[in-house]
Structure 1
Amino acid sequence: MYSCTVVRTKNPAVRTQLIERAAQMLRVREPVTLRSVVAGTGLSTMAVYTYFGGMDGLWRAMRQEGFTRLAAKLDAVSLTEDPVQDLAALGSAYVANALADPDLYRVMFDAGFELENPAAADESLHSLVSAVERAKGAGRFRADVDPLAVATQSWAVGHGLVSLVATGPLPPQALDHGASILTALFTSCGDGPETCRRSVGLGWRPTATG
């Protein structure tokens, strides 16, 4: 007599449902617990263990999902022949991603839970580093500019502005100030003021893309 074991395939839609459910609960400041996260979903608490191994796994997955969506948003940016414009456009995409999923965005930076794949965060930063390297190669930035340092500073500009807008106290219109901040940063790297202002103006459109 033969026996067989039925392997149940996990449904990616259920995994996403639980992640977004937990994020929505954070938005309205509801306690995220094993029971509350499945309440009203038709799922049992076992689903949290099946898909995440428990609540800690769910929090890790939420962090990972945030970086996964950010990477996808940055990858979708169409690069041009102007690397400085592209740097500003990547910053806009960063802001747009954060405003589209503000709850996942907050969880992304909760260092209390390790990422499932830490390389995902590195990939997001690498897209900025690559653009800075292109700006150096095109003669827009000085040869002694550190691409990682400028990429980090660019990230900090976007992160600071979006944090103040997403959680208050600044209105969405404050995002427009990012253009002048990035222009100051990029001109300090050697770009010409007028050329830089024009490039950043073409790329920095967070309220239009967000």
Structure 2
Amino acid sequence: MIRAREPITIRSLVAGTGVSTMAVYTYFGSMDGLWMAVRQEGFTRLAAILENTPVSDDPIRDLVALGSAYVSNALANPDLYRVMFDDTIELADPLAADETLSYLVRAVERAKLAGRLSDAVVAPELATQCWIIGHGLTSLVATGPLVREVLDYGATMLTALLIRAGDEPAQCERSVVGGWGAYPLGVSDV
């Protein structure tokens, strides 16, 4: 129903399922509660994917692999992705959603400790900039007008960002290419 952009009501939701409309009220309280649970589920799934993204001895590759996992998940689940970032729907647990960014923050901190990034880098700021690149490209492809090949620009943009943050250009390029290709775009394990 979300994919077809059909109007979703409690009646249309339960039609043909053998479940009464009362079940929605029992479990979610209201239609708003159901939407809140769907949005939260999107972030719960994303956190699980980020949690299971393999860690290597290359923190820049790992940082970019987290972005690749994010993009892959969004393209595999574009309708859920749209709901995740619908700010008209409240989040049941905003801190759980914020936790997804913390995976990137920790990867940036690892890269700083490994000497790959400047000590002047503020980890939450750089993590957010990486997220913005992935989210912007994903939004334009998953829910917007652009073709998947546009995602290739992600590696170029991340390379430029990470070199500006202090990484050595040739090493950075290798790491970014390895991380960006870590997940097939549009295939989710969750």
CA distance in structure 1 between the aligned counterparts of 2:143 and 2:122, rounded to whole angstroms:
32
Q: Does residue 97 in structure 1 map to residue 70 in structure 2? A: no
Q: Which residue of 1 aligns with 2:133?
A: 157
CA distance in structure 1 between the aligned counterparts of 2:92 and 2:128, rounded to whole angstroms:
22
Greater RCO between the two (CA within 8 Å, min separation 6)?
Answer: 2
Q: Does residue 187 in structure 1 map to residue 175 in structure 2? A: no
Q: Does residue 56 in structure 1 map to residue 28 in structure 2? A: no
Contact 1:73 1:93 in 2 (8 A): yes
| Cα deviations by residue, 1:4-28 (Å, 9 ceiling, x for unpaired) | xxxxxxxxxxxxxxxxxxxxx1110
Contact 1:102 1:166 in 2 (8 A): yes
TM (normalized to structure 1)? 0.86
| Cα deviations by residue, 1:28-85 (Å, 9 ceiling, x for unpaired) | 0110111111112121111111110110100100110010010011111000010000
Contact 2:46 2:73 in 1 (8 A): yes
Question: Which of 37, 40, 47 is the equivalent residue of 2:16?
Answer: 40
Q: Structure 1 stretches of 5 or more lacking a match?
A: 1-24
Q: Structure 2 stretches of 5 or more lacking a match?
A: none
Question: Which of 25, 32, 48 is the equivalent residue of 1:72?
Answer: 48
Q: Does residue 145 in structure 1 map to residue 116 in structure 2? A: no
Contact 1:92 1:205 in 2 (8 A): yes
Contact 1:175 1:206 in 2 (8 A): no
Q: Secondary structure at the match of 2:96?
A: helix
Q: Does residue 27 in structure 1 map to residue 3 in structure 2? A: yes
Moved over 4 A (4+): none
CA distance in structure 1 between the aligned counterparts of 2:77 and 2:27, rounded to whole angstroms:
21
Question: What is the RMSD of the two structures over their aligned residues, measured on CA atoms?
Answer: 1.2
CA distance in structure 2 between the aligned counterparts of 1:44 and 1:92, rounded to whole angstroms:
40
CA distance in structure 1 between the aligned counterparts of 2:96 and 2:124, rounded to whole angstroms:
16
Q: Does residue 119 in structure 1 map to residue 106 in structure 2? A: no
Q: How many residues align?
A: 186
CA distance in structure 2 between the aligned counterparts of 1:113 and 1:207, rounded to whole angstroms:
29
Identity %: 63
TM (normalized to structure 2)? 0.94
CA distance in structure 2 between the aligned counterparts of 1:165 and 1:191, rounded to whole angstroms:
29
